[in-house]
A and B are shown apart, each in its own frame.
Chain A
Amino acid sequence: MLGNFENLRVLVRKTSEAIYPVVFRMTGSEGRAEDIVQETMITVWQKIGKLKAPGAYKAWVFRIAVNKCYDYLRSRKNTPETMAGEDAWELLSARLRDDSASELENSEIASIVGALAETLSPKQKAIFVLSDIENMTPDEIAGITGFGKASIKANLHFARRNVAGKLQKYL
Chain B
Amino acid sequence: MEKGADNYRKVLELLKSSKPRHKNPDILEEKIMESIRMSKAGTAVSQSFTGFLFGWTRIVWIRRALSATAVLLILFLAFQQSVIIKQINTLNQRLVPGNLGNASYGNAGRIELLLYRLSASGNQYVSSDITGEKIDQLIESFEQMNSKYRELLKLIDEDPELKRLIEQKLDARKEKELPEKIKL
Contact = CB atoms under 8 A, between A and B. Distances in A.
Contacts of A41: 32, 35-36
Q: Is the interface of B mostly helix, strand, loop or mixed?
A: helix
A103 B12 contact: no
9 shortest interchain CB distances as A-B pairs: A104-B18, A24-B20, A103-B18, A168-B4, A41-B32, A167-B7, A21-B20, A45-B36, A106-B20
Nearest to A15: B32
Interface in B33-90: 33, 35-36, 39-40, 43
B8 interface: yes
A13 B25 contact: yes
Contacts of A116: 11
A25 interface: yes
Given A20-B22, A46-B39, A34 B10 contact: no
Given A45-B36, A46-B39, A109-B20, A133 B12 contact: yes
B22 A34 contact: yes
Given A20-B22, A96-B7, 15 more contacts: A9-B33, A17-B25, A37-B28, A38-B31, A92-B11, A95-B14, A103-B17, A103-B19, A108-B18, A109-B15, A112-B15, A135-B16, A164-B5, A167-B7, A168-B4
Interface of A: 8-9, 12-13, 16-17, 20-21, 24-25, 30, 33-34, 37-38, 41-42, 45-46, 92, 95-96, 101, 103-104, 106, 108-109, 112-113, 116, 132-133, 135, 160, 163-164, 167-168, 171
